[in-house]
Structure 1
Amino acid sequence: MTSALLNDYFPLQVENGYQEEKFFTSGVNWPAYESFLTFLGNSSRYRVAYLLETLEIMSPSRNHELDKKAIARLLEVYLEEKRIRFWGLGSTTLKNKDKQAGKEPDECYCIGTDKDIPDLAIEVIYTSGGIDTLEIYRRLGVTEVWFWQNQQFTIYCLENDTYQTKPNSQVLPNLDLTFMSQYVTINDPLEAITQWREQIKSNTTF
C-alpha cells in the first residue's frame, strides 16, 4: 500500500469534502494491514476496516463528519448532565489479530469504567455495501453499536455472541435515541446543543 495507490482510488475526495469513496481489496494479511495503519499514521482523512484479509478504506464526506460530530456532542452533553462517567475514544483503531478483525469507528465510548474495548461504537452510514461492520464488532466484543442512517438510529446489542436489534440502548437504557435524533438534524450546532441540554435538564424520564 502506498500513497500512489490511495491517489489512484480517491481522485475526487477533496472537492469541498462532499465526495465519499470506498475502496476494497482482498488478500491482505495481518502484517500488511498493520503496516498500512502505520503508513496512514494519525490521518483523519480515511477510515480503515479489516476482516479476514479484506481491507476497506473509506474517505468520509463532509456530511458524514458533520453528523458524527453532532451525535458525539449530543451524547456527551447527555452523559455530562446525567453524571455518567465516560471515556470518549473517537476513531481509535480497535483490532484483534486472533480474530482477524479491525475497525476505526466514527465514535466509540467506554461507559462507567475505562476498558480496552469500548462498550459503544457509533457508525454514520452514507454509502451502502462493504465489509460486514457488525461482524467486525462482534469479533472485537463491542457490547453495543449504533448505526445512524437516513436520519435515524438503529441499535444493535450483543447477546450470546450475536447482535440483536433493540428499540432502546442497553448501555444507556434511559436515553431516548428517537428523541435525540431530532437534534442531530438541526443545522445550527450551537442551537442543537443548547436546546438538547435544556431538554435533558427539564425531562426526568431520560
Structure 2
Amino acid sequence: MISALLSDCVPLQLQKGDREEKFITSGVTWQAYESFLASLGNHSGYRIAYLLETLEIMSPSRNHELDKENIGRLLEAYLEENRIRFWGLGSTTLKREDKQAGKEPDKCYCIGTDKEIPDLAIEVVYTSGGIDILEIYRRLGVQEVWFWQDRKFTIYSLQNDSYQLKSTSQLLPNLDLNFMAQYVTIDDPLEAITQWRNQIKVN
C-alpha cells in the first residue's frame, strides 16, 4: 500500500541543506486514506495529511524533529510554570470523514480541558508547497495554529469559521512567542530549557 501510493506521488520542493521529503497525490478516496493509515500503524516516521481526495506524505528531517521537540518542551515548561492545565497529544491523527480532512500535527494540545479536537496545533515548516494545512485545520475545528518557519512563529486564530493572522496567541495571551523563539534556536536543548525556565518561573 505504501509503495503503491508513493509511486504515484509527485515530490515537492525541498529547502536546500535539509533531507526532508514530501510527496503528494490526488484521487485518493477516504477509504484508501484510512487503509493507508492502518497500514502505517502507530510507529510510522511519516506525517500524513488529507484534504478532499488529495493525500500528502511527509518524511520529516532531523532539523524538523529537533525544532518540534524543542518547541514542545518550551511550551510545556511554560504551561507547567503557569499552572495551566494541558493535554499534549503529540502527532495524534486528527480526522473527520464528513469534512474529508485529516492531519497529523507536529504537536497539538488541549488547553484547560481535554477535548476530542485539540485547541492548538503546531506545524514546523521546512518544505514549501503542498496541501492547504489551514483548510484542513479549519474543517477539523482547531482553534489556533502556530507555524514555525524561518526561526519565527506565525499565529492563526479561528474566528467565525475563518483563520485570522494574529500577532499574539489568543489561547495563551501572556506567552511572548517572539521571546520563546529565541530559545527554540539554542543549539543545546538542556541549556535552552534551563534558561527558559529561569525566565518564566512564577514566584
Report the secondary structure of 1:181's partner residue: helix
Q: Percent identity?
A: 79
Matches of 1:159 and 1:4 in 2, distance apart?
A: 39
In structure 1, the partner of 2:14 is none
Matches of 1:54 and 1:35 in 2, distance apart?
A: 15
Letter of the structure 2 residue corresponding to residue 158 of structure 1? L
In structure 1, the partner of 2:20 is 20
In structure 1, the partner of 2:13 is none
In structure 2, the partner of 1:174 is 174
In structure 2, the partner of 1:83 is 83
Letter of the structure 1 residue corresponding to residue 176 of structure 2? D
Deviation of the 1:44 alpha carbon = 3.6
Does residue 39 of the first structure (1) align with residue 75 of the second (2)? no
In structure 1, the partner of 2:15 is none
Letter of the structure 1 residue corresponding to residue 69 of structure 2? K
Matches of 1:99 and 1:165 in 2, distance apart?
A: 23
In structure 2, the partner of 1:106 is 106
TM-score (normalised: structure 1): 0.91
Matches of 2:5 and 2:156 in 1, distance apart?
A: 34
In structure 1, the partner of 2:140 is 140
CA-based RMSD: 2.0
Query: Contact 2:124–2:147 at 8 Å: present in 1 too?
Result: yes
Letter of the structure 1 residue corresponding to residue 182 of structure 2? Q
Per-residue deviation, residues 83-135 of structure 1 (Å, max 9, x unmatched): 00000000000000000000000000000000000000000000010000000
TM-score (normalised: structure 2): 0.93
What stretches of structure 2 of length at least 5 have no aligned partner? Answer: 11-17
Structure ranking higher on relative contact order (CA contacts 8 Å, 6+ apart): 2
Letter of the structure 1 residue corresponding to residue 201 of structure 2? K
Does residue 189 of the first structure (1) align with residue 189 of the second (2)? yes
Report the secondary structure of 1:98's partner residue: helix
In structure 2, the partner of 1:96 is 96
Number of matched pairs = 198
Alpha carbons of structure 1 residues 102 and 135: separation in structure 2 relative to 1, 3 Å: same
In structure 2, the partner of 1:66 is 66
Query: Contact 2:91–2:108 at 8 Å: present in 1 too?
Result: yes
Per-residue deviation, residues 123-174 of structure 1 (Å, max 9, x unmatched): 0000010000000000000000000000000000000000001000000010
Does residue 161 of the first structure (1) align with residue 168 of the second (2)? no
Matches of 2:191 and 2:44 in 1, distance apart?
A: 26
Deviation of the 1:4 alpha carbon = 5.8
Per-residue deviation, residues 31-55 of structure 1 (Å, max 9, x unmatched): 0000000000113410000000000
Letter of the structure 2 residue corresponding to residue 156 of structure 1? Y
